[in-house]
Amino acid sequence: MSTPIFLIGPMASGKSAVGALLAGLLGTTLIDTDARVIAAHGSIPEIFAAHGEAGFRRFESEVMAAAVPTQAQREARATAPAVVATGGGSVLAEANRELLAHGFCVYLLTDEADVAQRIGADTTRPLLGSNPLEAWARIFAMRSDLYERTATVIIDTRGKRPGQIAGAILAAYRDAGH
């Protein structure tokens, strides 16, 4: 049976980028929950404008539930676990945390200095507003404990390239007996 790998962490921590590389290492495809929400409902700024953050969270939870393989699917997929890059706020909902508990949940730890270059003038993440780095730090401070509590393992990504991080996750997954 293959246990799915979930990537959690704040905006721009590398969940999507690392997830794609990890999926490649495992010979599977990446499920990116933000991408699925966008495919079904339009861009994230459009969704926030039309439905508010609460509407986005509803869509996100629906996609999370659909993305998590059932027990039967996991048993059938003997060699290729699902890799799921979640949205940065996926851990906020209790129902999502229950889903995450069914897999190997990897928290991509980063900090303000490390993400600064990546989120410079971001317009795709409505929660970051007009002062992205300040907003990022404020949101991260509120969620940091939740990421830690939800994680099976914490990978310190600071100063590492996405390929190194994907390799470290695969090693941790194998070390855990998967």
Ligand X SMILES: Nc1ncnc2c1ncn2[C@@H]1O[C@H](COP(=O)(O)OP(=O)(O)OP(=O)(O)O)[C@@H](O)[C@H]1O
Ligand Y SMILES: O=C(O)C1=C[C@@H](O)[C@@H](O)[C@H](O)C1
- Could you list the residues known to form a binding site for substrate, using ranges: 34, 57, 88, 143
Region from 9-17, 42-50, 61-69, 149-157 binding Mg ion, contact rule CB under 5 A? 9-17
Tell me the per-residue interface mask from 110 to 149 with ligand Y, x by CB under 6 A, - otherwise: ---------------x-x----------------------
Region from 11-19, 100-108, 126-134, 161-169 binding Mg ion, contact rule CB under 5 A? 11-19
Token pair in block for residue 148 = 């830690």
Q: Tell me the C-alpha distance between 10 and 126, whole Å.
A: 14
Specify the 3-state DSSP secondary structure of 108: strand
60 binds ligand X (CB under 6 A): no
H/E stretch holding 5:
strand 5-8
H/E stretch holding 139:
helix 132-150
Q: Tell me the C-alpha distance between 145 and 85, whole Å.
A: 19
Instruction: Tell the burial category of 121 from Cβ atoms under 10 Å away from its Cβ (0-12, 13-18, 19+).
Output: exposed
**Which of 125, 151, 168, 169: binder of ligand X (CB under 6 A)?**
125
Give the number of other CB atoms < 10 A from CB of residue 15: 27
Quickly tell me which residue has 């929950």 as its tokens. Answer: 33
Region from 48-56, 83-91, 99-107, 170-178 binding ligand X, contact rule CB under 6 A? 83-91
Q: Which residues bind ligand Y (CB under 6 A)?
A: 11, 34, 44, 87-89, 125, 127
Q: Which residues bind ligand X (CB under 6 A)?
A: 9, 11-17, 34, 85, 87-88, 118, 125, 157, 160-162, 165
Q: Which residues bind Mg ion (CB under 5 A)?
A: 15-16
